[in-house]
Amino acid sequence: MILNRFKAVVLLAGMSGLLLFMGDLLGGTQGLTIALIISIILNGSMYFFSDKIVLGMYQAQSLSEYEYSWIYGIVSELSHEMRLPMPKLWLIKTPMANAFATGRNPSYSSIALTTGIISLLTPDELRGVLAHELSHIKNRDILVTTIAATMAMAIGYCADFLRHRAFWGSFSNNSEKNNHSSSVLGAVALAMLMPLIALLIKLGISRSREYLADETGAHACRDSLALARALEKLHNHIPKAYMDPQDTVRASMASLFIVRPLRGGGLMELFSTHPSMQKRIEKLFTIHQQKGY
């Protein structure tokens, strides 16, 4: 758990370093400050309203406490164990078996379950999933990922400004072109490379938070094997009922779900918001061997 937290801190520090480096390349703090302010406004809006946006996007309905009292019982028990307020519970009517947590802090949190996951998993396996989602709330992952997104967007703005400056600088006179051609090429290369590095760091943070939620959830529910079985079932179910990648609006929220709801792998694993399922399950088995649960 400490290692996963340390990884996230190191990655955030690395992204901060990239942002400062880009500001220095631009020759001052003014452009950097403007980019950062714009990023904070955009991502701040998402931080405060993303729960309403994503729940509305999936047409989530309040989970019936009468019909699903056993789920409310599980969440209430786990919330007490993890010293968290009881989150709001939502139901999304889709055969896609998945779940996600959202909300800006533990006092304003929600967990959404699909009809697919409720019908697919056993109560013990669903308990493991709910512990994982409560762990995202406990670890304030929405805040961490919002900070990462803010810095990544600011780096993107800086890179775009740098590309434009290099482009317009290329229309100077011939002697200046000869003197500065290499620096222009270097600026363009950096402007293209830096956002890619920022994206990879942001995805690395997302993957580290998934590992941390798995670990925290396994300790909370004291049944790491149930969570491992749930993850395996969910992963194997994706090819049968998955999110259409052509639905770019909904696909943009794929990082929220406990398992990646899109088909595909291979090289794209590098650009995935989720760690390898095999590695996640292996880590849960390691916890079982070490802790006995």
Q: Are 61 and 91 in contact (CB under 8 A)?
A: yes
Q: What is the pLDDT along the chain (293 residues), one digit of tens a residue?
A: 555 456 556 665 666 666 666 665 565 566 667 666 766 776 677 778 878 888 988 899 999 999 999 999 999 999 999 999 999 999 999 999 999 998 888 999 999 999 999 999 999 999 999 999 999 999 988 777 767 766 676 677 677 777 666 666 554 544 455 555 555 566 567 667 777 777 777 787 788 889 999 999 999 999 999 999 999 999 999 988 887 766 665 766 778 899 988 876 555 555 688 889 999 999 999 999 999 98
> Are the beta carbons of 23 and 31 closer than 8 angstroms?
yes
SS3 99: strand
Structure confidence at residue 86 (pLDDT): 97
Check residue 175 and give its pLDDT.
46
Contact 129/116 with Cβ under 8 angstroms?
Answer: no
Residue whose tokens read 């402007």? 191
Judge whether 133 counts as a catalytic residue. Answer: yes
Domain limits, the chain? 2-291
pTM above 0.85, yes or no: no
Q: Quick one: pLDDT at residue 244?
A: 75
pLDDT at 173: 47
Distance CA 157, CA 149 (A): 12
If one counts every other C-beta atom within 10 angstroms of the C-beta of residue 250, the result is 15
CA distance 261 to 267: 17
Q: Give me the pLDDT at residue 70, please.
A: 97
Inter-residue contact 214 to 235 (CB < 8 Å) = no
Q: Choosing from 125, 133, 210, 215, which is the catalytic residue?
A: 133
